[in-house]
């Protein structure tokens, strides 16, 4: 039997800033350097950047698409999974991950962060991104905020 692969999801908006692109690319690159499979939503923006970064380091990348076909798939994906599940695919991404790193914010990204926190078994880290406060205005606990890719990857605790 071979070892179970370490898999990390990199989530973020399909339309992102240049800084977010750079963060996602570097995050993908670092993860692949550690031998981790990079899982993402398979579209553009942060997803494409993470895949490009991982591919640049020789890593395996997986894109889990909402559509039932591959038309919208970004480049740099070793495996393309057109789930046909729509945004229900966000939970498939989350279940595949030993850790979730979000770069930047959007409603779709937030749904993935929330589903990962709901799952409750893997580290959830974000670089930038949106913030969640409870009714009393306090940050909802548990998400690690990282200043950049190196800190985010370290915060997963997967690569000691």
Least CB distance to a copy of itself at residue 12 (A): 12
Contacts 24+ apart (CB under 8 A), 57-61: 57/28, 57/29, 57/30, 57/32, 57/33, 58/32, 59/28, 59/31, 59/32, 59/33, 59/35, 60/5, 60/32, 61/28, 61/32, 61/37
Near a copy of itself by CB under 8 A: residue from 14, 57, 72, 117: 117
Q: Which of 88, 98, 96, 112 is nearest to 12 (CA)?
A: 112
By rule CB under 8 A, what string of x and - marks binding of each residue 130-159 to a copy of itself?
xxxxxx-x--x-------------------
Q: Which residues in the 51-90 window bind a copy of itself by CB under 8 A?
A: 55, 60, 62, 64, 68-70, 73, 75-90
Site residues for a copy of itself per CB under 8 A? 1-2, 4-5, 7, 37, 39, 55, 60, 62, 64, 68-70, 73, 75-92, 94-96, 105-108, 110-111, 114-115, 117-120, 128-135, 137, 140
């Amino acid at each position: 039997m071979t070892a179970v692969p370490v898999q990390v999801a990199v989530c973020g908006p399909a339309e992102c800033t240049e800084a977010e692109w750079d963060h996602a690319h570097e995050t993908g690159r670092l993860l692949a350097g550690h031998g981790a499979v990079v899982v993402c939503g398979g579209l553009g923006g942060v997803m494409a950047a993470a895949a490009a970064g991982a591919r640049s380091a020789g890593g395996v990348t997986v894109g889990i698409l909402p559509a039932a076909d591959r038309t919208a798939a970004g480049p740099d994906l070793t495996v393309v999974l057109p789930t046909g599940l729509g945004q229900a695919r966000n939970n498939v991404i989350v279940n595949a991950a030993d850790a979730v790193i979000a770069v930047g914010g959007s409603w779709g990204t937030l749904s993935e962060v929330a589903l990962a926190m709901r799952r409750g078994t893997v580290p959830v880290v974000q670089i930038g991104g949106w913030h969640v406060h409870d009714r009393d205005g306090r940050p909802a606990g548990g998400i690690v905020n990282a200043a950049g890719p190196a800190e985010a990857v370290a915060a997963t605790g997967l690569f000691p």
